[in-house]
Amino acid sequence: MLVLITYDVNVTTDLGKSRLRRVAKQCVNYGQRVQNSVFECLVDPTQFAELKHRLESIVDPNTDSLRYYFLGSNWKNRVEHFGAKVGYDPEGVLML
Amino acid sequence: MLVLITYDVNVTTDLGKSRLRRVAKQCVNYGQRVQNSVFECLVDPTQFAELKHRLESIVDPNTDSLRYYFLGSNWKNRVEHFGAKVGYDPEGVLML
């Protein structure tokens, strides 16, 4: 199934930037980074439980938020893109 | 139906910040801003076509991207949240 994961973090601090990098590192094991803080992860329920556990141990729940959207297996019909192509350099210019 | 709209824009420029504000203004007519650049919009197909048209006239397709995720009418079962509560001050601290 495809799980879309969106992450809101304050990257005006070095700690925030570091958390974003760590979240990205976990997510790209299972899929791709489609926007700066948006990840599409192909996981089965066990993998999702593991990923979720790891992410929630990284983020600061007082300041950051994670949202998970379950797009199921028929996800290709549920996604549309406009504009600059997918593909993100995590070390590149700050985008949001 | 719920359409999730995610927007990637370079907000290190004033023009980028302005585009994000304008995208947000359009989206919140139909729903809510759940993260800095993530909007959940409740629309029918006609409203979605109008909204899409407006958004795509605001963004710079060479540098920005928009993604639309169609979560259908049974969307409440497809969303999960962790961390800081939903509710975003668009004039607040820069988040992503």
Domain spans of chain A, in order of start? 2-72
> Which residues contact residue A4 at a Cβ distance below 8 angstroms, ignoring those fewer than 6 apart?
A38, A39, A40, A41, A68, A69, A71, B4, B69
Give the mean pLDDT of B68-95.
77
* Structure ipTM: 0.86
For residue B7, which residues of chain A lie inside 8 Å, CB to CB?
35
Q: Which CATH number fits domain B2-72: 3.40.30.10, 3.40.50.720, 3.30.70.240, 3.20.20.190?
A: 3.30.70.240
Residues of B with CB under 8 A from a CB of A: 4, 6-12, 20, 34-38, 52, 55-56, 59-72, 77-86, 93-96
Give just the sign of the alpha carbon dihedral B83, B85, B87, B89: negative
pLDDT tens per residue, range A32-90: 999 999 999 999 999 999 999 999 999 999 999 999 999 988 888 999 999 998 755 44
| The two three-digit tokens of residue B14, written as one number | 């004033």
CB–CB of A66 and B56 under 8 A?
no
Q: B74 pLDDT band (50/70/90 cuts)?
A: confident
Q: Which of B8, B20, B80 sits opposite A36 (nearest CB)?
A: B8
